Amino acid sequence: MINVVGIRFKEVGKIYYFDPDNTTLQKGEHVIVETTRGLECGEVAMANRQLPDDEVSFPLKKIIRKATDNDLKTVAENREKEKHAFEICEKKIKEHELKMKLVNVEYTFDGSKILFYFTADGRVDFRDLVKDLAYVFRTRIELRQIGVRDEAKMLGGIGICGRPFCCNSFLGEFQPVSIKMAKEQGMSLNPVKISGTCGRLMCCLKYEQDAYADLLKSTPKIGAIVSTPDGKGTVADVNLITGKLSVSLNKSPDAALHTYSVDEVTLIKDGKIKLDRADIARLKKLEE
């Protein structure tokens, strides 16, 4: 077991483990640490905790110190500088007629580097842009091309559900999302229905999947053959949340579907959830 503290550098970002170096830290406190980008000010997202060695990546860097009032003032000043740098970079992009969209700007805590995040449809030759920015700011410049999901996480917004984006409000890291999840959750494979504002599969498909997978274990699938109080039939539709099944009875296949709850039927032969190749090809881009 090893004593660690979890530090987050963005409001809803990944948590990184550091060695507290015999310092007791509380959640919400700010600290100064050394990262691959240089000195950074981060927020304690997880107070001192003992974790198994196999859950930690070694070597652990130590906490340098708790953030002082001057440190927090520096962070605030950097936020203001970022706004100014954003405006200048946008002007330079237009001057160089580059096909790229500036998304965000970050100053490192010690001001030794400025990072510019952008999106673009393909590769962009920004060497001249970097030279111009370095001349203006007199410090190291780094341009990073990011994906549309990262853009959505940085900028935030309101999803089709009417709530703030999951990635921007509580999801620290992106998880792989697949078309199969949408199929298993009984959603229409319409890109508009299953994709978020970013144009990729909705993140909620992933963290709701465990619940649906558990329900699928006890719920007959579409195409399943079941025995009902009115005779044998084939499941034509399923509502996993309510546990209701729409069944076409063998004795009256042309009649209206009958509705039963899961505990009213007996499974004879279960169905299978299948994805057509055409659907996979059509929706593949949503997974990227």
Residues 25-84 pLDDT 10s: 999 999 999 988 888 999 999 999 999 888 888 889 999 999 999 999 999 999 999 999
State the angle between helix axes of 127-137 and 69-95 in degrees (0 to 180), rounded to the nearest 10. Answer: 140
C-beta separation of 147 from 154 below 8 A: no
The pLDDT, as a whole number, for residue 5 is 95
Pick the residue with more confidence: 285 or 223?
223
Dihedral (Cα; 251, 254, 256, 260), 10-degree rounding:
40
Q: Is residue 77 part of a domain?
A: yes
Q: Is residue 11 part of a domain?
A: yes
**Dihedral sign, Cα of residue 191, residue 195, residue 201, residue 206:** negative
Q: Is residue 213 part of a domain?
A: no
Q: Is residue 130 part of a domain?
A: yes
CATH of the domain at 95: 3.30.300
pLDDT(288) > 80:
no
Among 33, 36, 13, 35, residue whose Cα is nearest residue 25: 33
Per-chain mean pLDDT for the chain: 93
Give percent above pLDDT 90 in the chain: 78
The pLDDT-based confidence of 286 (bands split at 50, 70, 90) is: confident
Give the domain range for residue 236.
222-269
What would the mean pLDDT of 124-134 be, rounded to a whole number?
96
The helix/strand/coil state of 225 is: strand
pLDDT(259) > 80:
yes
Q: Is residue 125 part of a domain?
A: yes
CA distance 201 to 273: 19
Residues 6+ apart with CB under 8 A from 99: 120, 121, 124
The pLDDT, as a whole number, for residue 188 is 87
> Same domain for 119 and 136?
yes
Q: Is residue 253 part of a domain?
A: yes
Of 67, 93, 116, at which residue does a domain stop? Answer: 67
Among 175, 205, 207, residue whose Cα is nearest residue 189: 205
> Same domain for 82 and 138?
yes
The pLDDT, as a whole number, for residue 224 is 96
Tokens of 23: 């310092």
What would the mean pLDDT of 102-123 be, rounded to a whole number?
95
The pLDDT-based confidence of 279 (bands split at 50, 70, 90) is: confident
Tokens of 279: 């659907």
The pLDDT, as a whole number, for residue 275 is 83
Q: What Å distances lie between residue 243 and 184, 215, 272, 273, CA to CA?
A: 14, 9, 17, 17
Pick the residue with more confidence: 59 or 246?
246
The helix/strand/coil state of 38 is: strand
The pLDDT-based confidence of 284 (bands split at 50, 70, 90) is: confident
- State in Å, rounded, how far the first CA of the chain is from the last one: 38
Exposure of 39 in the CB half-sphere (CA atoms within 13 A): 13
Tokens of 228: 């009902």
Tokens of 255: 């009649």
pLDDT(185) > 80:
yes
CA distance 275 to 183: 8
Residues 6+ apart with CB under 8 A from 7: 15, 16, 17, 18, 31, 33, 42, 43, 44, 45
Q: Is residue 200 part of a domain?
A: no
The pLDDT, as a whole number, for residue 261 is 95
The pLDDT, as a whole number, for residue 15 is 92
pLDDT(85) > 90:
yes
Number of structural domains the chain divides into? 3
Q: What Å distances lie between residue 198 and 31, 37, 166, CA to CA?
A: 33, 28, 12
